Amino acid sequence: MRQLYLGDTIPDFEQDSSIGPIRFHAWAGDAWVVLFSHPADFTPVCTTELGLTGRLQAEFDRRNVKAIALSVDDAASHRAWIKDIEATQHTVVGFPIIADQDRKVASLYQMIHAGESTTVTVRTVFIIDPAKKLRLTLTYPLNVGRNFDEILRVIDALQLADAHTVATPGNWQPGDEVVIPPSIQDEAEIRAKFPKGYRAERPYLRLTPHPGR
């Protein structure tokens, strides 16, 4: 199986889930997608992560993002686990969990890392844009929970970069200055794209106020 690289069109698949069978590309539609894998149902770290995802539903909706989880347990197990998640995390799981008993999706997306486990998935995150292109991957070990603030921050950065042809500096947060890419050199184009002006720390390091704010 060829490794997935940033910019690749992500593989389509059909698999059962907590809400019934899903054809992934059709389910995604024209939204951004956060696909994230879990080692197993009824596990403590996963329970907290799915609870966080449920509580962030409004934030995902505001960004036109659909969340979808995956583990190698079956759909009936997922539905039973969702009751525990909602009871203990005080939220609603309003997104599907893929049932990947045959590891079909885990194999397509290289979610099983033999150095961690030969049977369950590591904590992988895939951020996918509306064109079904892979834009970011994050991979955590089995015993470390994900930072969902970082996932939202990256989505904000990607969407801003797409809309305004900018890059974001280290530790960027929404509202901070952004970087004018070195590929943009024409001053007339710079003035048109960035009417608030810019400051040049170096010829290759030009910073401009957050576009649209």
Please tell me which residue in 28, 33, 46, 151 is annotated as part of the active site.
46
Q: DSSP secondary-structure letter at 197?
A: -
CA 182 to each of CA 104, 166, 190, 203, 205: distance values in angstroms, whole numbers, following the listed order: 41, 10, 11, 8, 8
Q: Does 43 participate in catalysis according to the annotation?
A: no
In total, the chain counts a number of residues equal to 213
Query: For residue 119, with 0-12 CB atoms within 10 Å meaning exposed, 13-18 middle and 19 or more buried, which class applies?
Result: exposed
Task: List the structure tokens of 166.
Answer: 């900018």
How far apart are alpha carbons 204 and 44 in whole angstroms? 46
Ranges assigned E (strand) in 60-169: 65-71, 97-99, 123-128, 134-140
Active site residues: 46
